[in-house]
Structure 1
């Protein structure tokens, strides 16, 4: 009986995470992701999804299917499966290619800011002003490439 209670307690914590993920994914996709929608996308039945979201009372196959589906959309399995540590873990894990794109955008912005700072400094010098050195702006920023995930 103790094992059943522990499983039910865990299911009561993890089940609502699945509901939260469905709603969150719907917002990310710009739609209301219903039980029917998720069932269709995963190959599960509406009832299987409902019971997994309610208290995780479903089969291990249903659990694996939902975990695989949410992981394919960038959700952190550790966040889902460790609800007591959830506040310390990110819900979504950004893919390596997305991180690389972000780093490249930041690098481009850094270059534009650096170029504009240099142009402004030159114009101020031409007008007789001495620009203040700002180490954060004047220093060239070296961005590192993210590790391949």
Structure 2
């Protein structure tokens, strides 16, 4: 079962990541202003994921719209989930890279097997 404090900590962590390299960190007030929630609602969500379901969904969609993976926030064990949402283009590029590496690996293994077989025959 998911711990609500863990969800709140994850949302606070994402808020800290929103700032551009030379920009000040995002405050709870800024998130509140961007989402139309009150500062109190954002603070309660980050402290223990407490508050209304509407407020929680609003903040989750806020992070989703900025490229974050909602599953990373909500799943009890998020160790196998990407924090950022991968676009279809990224998935295709990653898949091509993996196929290319596997093909290269297959060729190298094939050469080693051939060399091994030749050494056994001689």
1:89 to 81, 94, 102: 81
Any unmatched runs of 5+ in structure 2? 94-103, 105-122
Number of residue pairs matched?
Answer: 98
State the Cα distance separating 1:34 from its structure 2 match: 0.6
Q: In 2, are the aligned partners of 1:18 and 1:53 still within 8 Å (CA)?
A: yes
Please give the secondary structure, in 2, of the residue aligned with 1:62: helix
1:16 to 9, 18, 38: 9
State the Cα distance separating 1:30 from its structure 2 match: 3.6
Q: Counterpart in 2 of 1:72?
A: 65
State the Cα distance separating 1:88 from its structure 2 match: 1.4
- Per the normalisation by structure 2, the TM-score is 0.68
Q: In 2, are the aligned partners of 1:15 and 1:55 still within 8 Å (CA)?
A: yes
Large movers: runs of 4+ above 6 Å: none
Give the distance between the partners of 1:51 and 1:38, measured in 2 at CA. Answer: 13
Q: Counterpart in 2 of 1:53?
A: 46
User: Which structure has the larger Rg?
Assistant: 1
State the Cα distance separating 1:61 from its structure 2 match: 0.5
Any unmatched runs of 5+ in structure 1? 1-5, 104-135, 137-149
